[in-house]
Structure 1
Amino acid sequence: MGTAYLLKDGTVATWTDNGAKTYKADVLIEGSTITEIAENISPRPGVETIDCKNKWISPGFIDTHRHVWMTVLRGNQDDWLLTEYLVKNSWTIQPAVTPDDVRIGQLAGCLEALHQGVTTILDHFHASNSPEHAEAVLDATIQSGARVVWAPARQSPPTELFPELRFDNEVDTLKWQVEKLKEWGARDGGKLSKDGRVVLGLSYDVVGSGGDNTIHQEINKLARSIPVQVITAHVVKGPRIFDYRDAGLLGPDIVFSHCNELWDHPEPDDEMWAVMKNNGCAIASTPVDELGMAHGLPVAFEAVKRGVKCGLGADCLSINSGDMFGQMRTALQFTRGMSHENIHKAKQTPPLHNEYNSRDAFRLGTLGGAEALNLADQIGTIEVGKKADLLIFNALSTNLAGIRDPFNGIVFHASDADIITVFVDGEILKRDGKLTKFEWAMVAQELVERADILRERFSDTVLEERWQKHYAKSGGPTSWTK
């Protein structure tokens, strides 16, 4: 059965069929699974007992949209607009990164996520420049121990930006990416690691870019025959949701990241929202960078209100932290702020209470993400029979001591420093505040070396020159879309 653990005398904080719930209980983990939740479970031979007195036990956080490899670029792009990001990163740096660059970025990014309590990631891997890039990243993902829906992108890196944006390698790139999709899909139906933690997805952003929909339909049909766990694509502003509908590609396995366009469709019976709900599609909302990069306004709680599946994500690790605390807080406080402002402007009577609270934000970061990835039968809550993807918080920490409600504590006050233990699939990947599978200092050393090489190769001066040249050539971009 493998390793077993008894989490003794903790406070469980989770969503249930009856809503958010906290209660005192012991949690028994056997192998990869939660096998018992009860008070006063007796210690038994072969089971390690972990004292959880004055500790909170919660599900691991679930990130529904993250570009993990971009950890190797973090701290470089925090102030960029979305169009600026396209020119400086997507069309300049990204086509030039090496397999070694993306490998260390991926490993460090997965370990960062685990340290911060993110146990499951939908990884939109959009630097799939060659088979070597893809395999290096896949290998690092499996080694990390994280639970990942790994979704390599069906797209080509640009070959030129000036005098015009060109993708001259599209034919060859399409060929090898489809061949690799078939190869990965042949591994036990897309289970890319032996333990099933890493499974195959597909990132597919090329619908609506012109041409016949036939090739899109063929590739998505291939992906679904595997079947991949989800198919994901960026939607910022514009009609891409309708593009997917018109191509006949929508379904409950579709996760659209951002979806800021939907903010401009407030009517209760709006067609675009109805298309999302009726097809069972999900939204991955990343409010921190959406607000800063001019994507538009975050729609996470609009989705909650309308019954559309929704989770949260960190998006580009080059731009903001990979923790989910900031995403939960920002989504909640943005929604409250907009509601308050609308009430003030309309000179309405203020409500007795805020419409949404910390429990709702916590749900977005856990069960909401599981629902978006169609994994709610396995993860997202603490229940017997589900995977042991769990966090243990120190409720006596400098951030949390004195807080009675774990949901308030986790959403509004906690940081990664308060997470002392992280389980994924019943394996401890963070114990006593430290990662267990890798010596972080060694990973950090290589990360710094690769990051410095990229900074030297693509200095701020070089990138700014390219951006200003493009800006001047285009007369000022008129679209924010990815």
Structure 2
Amino acid sequence: MDDDGSVLEGADVLVTGRRIAAVGPALAVPPGTVEIDARGGIVMPGMIDTHRHLWQTAMRGYGADWTLSQYFDWYYVQHGARFRPEDVYAGNLLGAVEALDEGVTTTVDWSHGLRTPDHAEAAVDALEEVPGRFVLAYGNIFDAPWTWSRTAGLHDLVSRRLRRSDLLGFQMAFDVTGDPQFPERAAFEVARDLDAAVTTHAGVRGATDDAAVRLMHEHGFMEERTVYVHAATLGEESYRLIAETGGSVSVASEAESSGGQGYPPTWRLRAHGIPVSLSTDSSVWGSADMFSAVRATLAADRAREHLEAHARDETVTDVGLRAQQAVWWATRGGARALGLDDVTGSLEPGKKADVVLLKNDASPVMAPVLHPWGHVALQAQRGDVRTVLVDGRVVKHDHRLLGDHVARARAAAEATVEHLRREVGEEAWSAGRVPGSGTGGFDSPYTYSDHRGAAAAAPPR
């Protein structure tokens, strides 16, 4: 796959060392080359998730019926601070292994539970153990970004452990409350000093709104490498500013549709020409599966298009969002959002060999393959991921991850669950899985701030 959207039938991909050496039919095979038979399957670039809260993975599925306010209540206000460094490690390890298993070769760890230096070290420990490509988006929802961004611990971690290769990158992850005083300026300045991109939840009902985007623009902190997560409830002026400054939006359609951040905004982003990448948010209330992310995005965009046409008593005869575009967002879109377009995101000579083979001879889903883009978008499943290469290294083959990462991750996650159940108490733990209407009755999810902008305008209900 390249910018022309090429589909090559019966072609080979030759990997030499860490890079793709050639793509095409009947390639000459150097002596000693290991051959992986991909006939009947689909060879594609590894997918890229630009926003996943890995530290929450040990609570997989616990919040299946949560709304956004209940998510805030559990993690931001009540129990999130109970996570120890080893619990962040467990979530990161389990989530990182899961990403590789499903064909995601690059993951942004939107790690906003790093309330101490030890939590941050544990997060990096887990990412370094898993043979994938990761970006640590450093954040701390328990303290003000204008405070934690200036700590010696952050700067020490960046200089010692991050950016040593393109396998482990660095962003800064924090939100802008909309406070007219713009206290987040200090964190933006730190990001600029560290030459780090900022990823921020923007346009999230009850949390962040147009005021945040306006303040970022007025103070000169909207950049081409800025990633706006969700961006689902913004006004036209905010979208215009994002487009004008070249930023991109990470859309998490599954979470947005279920949690209530706002309607997945791809239909508006397309209208403004804003670059899009896809993400899975958190497995605590979603699937954390990029195949599902692609599907949910297509479904939401097309549903909106049909609904608006029906309201005009019209019929859509040609959909605006095609399967090819959605798969492109899950691969090339992510690479471009992260500044990794010269590294990964496509199958082209010279790129790092982040390659996925979809092939499952035991599954009726993988035959026939008539429309490769449509097959990836609407038919293939994580169980069809047979082989995964990252940086030229085979990390999964014959449907099994190599190494003992799965067993270790499962054991660590079980220990975290035991800890949380003890800390929270059985009654509260059970109640959390079936939340009542009273959950989430707070003025703002940002407990470090007295500002009540977006939350005051849209109180939880």
Q: Which residue number in structure 2 is paired with residue 179 of structure 1?
A: 152
Range with bigger deviation, 202-211 or 119-128: 202-211
- Measure how far apart 1:402 and its partner are: 1.3
| Contact 1:191/1:198, CA 8 A, preserved across alignment | yes
1:128-165 deviation digits (Å, cap 9, x = unpaired): 11000000111111111111111111x452xxxxxxxx
| The one of 178, 187, 203 aligned to 1:208 | 178
User: Aligned-pair RMSD on alpha carbons?
Assistant: 2.6
Q: How far apart, CA to CA, are the structure 2 residues paired with 1:83 and 1:459?
A: 21
Q: How far apart, CA to CA, are the structure 1 residues paired with 2:442 and 2:9?
A: 61
The answer to whether residue 18 in structure 2 is matched with residue 42 in structure 1 is: no
- Structure 2: which amino acid aligns with 1:450? T
| The one of 161, 183, 187 aligned to 1:219 | 187
Q: How far apart, CA to CA, are the structure 2 residues paired with 1:57 and 1:365?
A: 15
Identify if the C-alpha distance between structure 1 residues 352 and 147 changes in structure 2 by more than 3 Å, giving closer, same or farther.
same
Q: Which residue number in structure 2 is paired with residue 162 of structure 1?
A: none
Identify if the C-alpha distance between structure 1 residues 28 and 272 changes in structure 2 by more than 3 Å, giving closer, same or farther.
same
| The one of 101, 125, 148 aligned to 1:139 | 125
- Structure 1: which amino acid aligns with 2:193? S
Q: How far apart, CA to CA, are the structure 1 residues paired with 2:86 and 2:215?
A: 36
| Contact 1:82/1:480, CA 8 A, preserved across alignment | no
- Measure how far apart 1:91 and its partner are: 1.5
The answer to whether residue 228 in structure 2 is matched with residue 256 in structure 1 is: yes
Identify if the C-alpha distance between structure 1 residues 81 and 472 changes in structure 2 by more than 3 Å, giving closer, same or farther.
closer
Q: How far apart, CA to CA, are the structure 1 residues paired with 2:99 and 2:188?
A: 29
Range with bigger deviation, 397-406 or 253-262: 397-406
- Structure 2: which amino acid aligns with 1:86? F
Q: Which residue number in structure 2 is paired with residue 403 of structure 1?
A: 369
Q: Which residue number in structure 2 is paired with residue 275 of structure 1?
A: 241
Identify if the C-alpha distance between structure 1 residues 424 and 379 changes in structure 2 by more than 3 Å, giving closer, same or farther.
same
The answer to whether residue 74 in structure 2 is matched with residue 88 in structure 1 is: yes
| Contact 2:149/2:187, CA 8 A, preserved across alignment | no
- Measure how far apart 1:459 and its partner are: 4.8
- Measure how far apart 1:77 and its partner are: 1.0
The answer to whether residue 202 in structure 2 is matched with residue 232 in structure 1 is: no
| Contact 2:63/2:284, CA 8 A, preserved across alignment | yes
1:375-406 deviation digits (Å, cap 9, x = unpaired): 22221111011111110011643211112222
- Measure how far apart 1:480 and its partner are: 6.6
| The one of 293, 296, 302 aligned to 2:262 | 296
Q: How far apart, CA to CA, are the structure 2 residues paired with 1:98 and 1:210?
A: 34
Q: How far apart, CA to CA, are the structure 2 residues paired with 1:175 and 1:88?
A: 22
| Contact 1:110/1:146, CA 8 A, preserved across alignment | yes
Q: Secondary structure at the match of 2:136?
A: strand
Report matched runs for 1:308-319 at 5 Å.
308-319=274-285
Q: How far apart, CA to CA, are the structure 1 residues paired with 2:10 and 2:213?
A: 44
- Measure how far apart 1:224 and its partner are: 2.7
Q: How far apart, CA to CA, are the structure 2 residues paired with 1:302 and 1:212?
A: 27
Q: Which residue number in structure 2 is paired with residue 391 of structure 1?
A: 356
1:156-182 deviation digits (Å, cap 9, x = unpaired): 52xxxxxxxxx6xx69x9358632332
Q: What's the TM-score, normalizing by structure 2?
A: 0.88
Q: Which has the higher strand share?
A: 1
- Structure 2: which amino acid aligns with 1:196? D
Q: What's the TM-score, normalizing by structure 1?
A: 0.85
Range with bigger deviation, 75-84 or 219-228: 219-228
Identify if the C-alpha distance between structure 1 residues 388 and 474 changes in structure 2 by more than 3 Å, giving closer, same or farther.
closer
Q: How far apart, CA to CA, are the structure 2 residues paired with 1:458 and 1:61?
A: 36
Q: Secondary structure at the match of 1:399?
A: helix
Q: How far apart, CA to CA, are the structure 1 residues paired with 2:172 and 2:220?
A: 17
Report matched runs for 1:45-56 at 5 Å.
45-56=31-42
- Measure how far apart 1:443 and its partner are: 2.3
Q: How far apart, CA to CA, are the structure 2 residues paired with 1:88 and 1:467?
A: 13
| Contact 1:286/1:327, CA 8 A, preserved across alignment | yes
- Structure 2: which amino acid aligns with 1:222? V
| Contact 1:146/1:424, CA 8 A, preserved across alignment | yes
- Measure how far apart 1:106 and its partner are: 0.3
Identify if the C-alpha distance between structure 1 residues 399 and 249 changes in structure 2 by more than 3 Å, giving closer, same or farther.
same
| Contact 2:225/2:338, CA 8 A, preserved across alignment | yes
Q: Secondary structure at the match of 2:284?
A: coil
- Structure 2: which amino acid aligns with 1:221? E
- Measure how far apart 1:76 and its partner are: 1.0
| The one of 406, 413, 420 aligned to 1:447 | 413
| Contact 1:83/1:477, CA 8 A, preserved across alignment | no
Range with bigger deviation, 373-382 or 249-258: 373-382
Q: Which residue number in structure 2 is paired with residue 101 of structure 1?
A: 87
- Measure how far apart 1:282 and its partner are: 0.9
| Contact 1:84/1:467, CA 8 A, preserved across alignment | no
Q: How far apart, CA to CA, are the structure 1 residues paired with 2:58 and 2:228?
A: 25
- Measure how far apart 1:439 and its partner are: 4.2
- Measure how far apart 1:318 and its partner are: 1.0
Q: Which residue number in structure 1 is paired with residue 339 of structure 2?
A: 374
1:340-369 deviation digits (Å, cap 9, x = unpaired): 121112112x24322222111111111111
Number of paired residues? 441
The answer to whether residue 95 in structure 2 is matched with residue 123 in structure 1 is: no
Q: How far apart, CA to CA, are the structure 2 residues paired with 1:296 and 1:453?
A: 33
Q: How far apart, CA to CA, are the structure 2 residues paired with 1:242 and 1:30?
A: 47
Range with bigger deviation, 297-306 or 317-326: 297-306
Q: How far apart, CA to CA, are the structure 2 residues paired with 1:183 and 1:453?
A: 29
Unaligned runs of 5+ in 1: 1-13, 158-166
Identify if the C-alpha distance between structure 1 residues 200 and 472 changes in structure 2 by more than 3 Å, giving closer, same or farther.
closer
Report matched runs for 1:415-454 at 5 Å.
415-454=381-420
- Measure how far apart 1:314 and its partner are: 0.5
Q: Secondary structure at the match of 2:403?
A: coil
Identify if the C-alpha distance between structure 1 residues 413 and 480 changes in structure 2 by more than 3 Å, giving closer, same or farther.
farther
Unaligned runs of 5+ in 2: 445-454
- Measure how far apart 1:44 and its partner are: 2.1
Identify if the C-alpha distance between structure 1 residues 351 and 444 changes in structure 2 by more than 3 Å, giving closer, same or farther.
same
Q: How far apart, CA to CA, are the structure 2 residues paired with 1:391 and 1:448?
A: 30
Q: How far apart, CA to CA, are the structure 2 residues paired with 1:472 and 1:30?
A: 56
The answer to whether residue 272 in structure 2 is matched with residue 306 in structure 1 is: yes
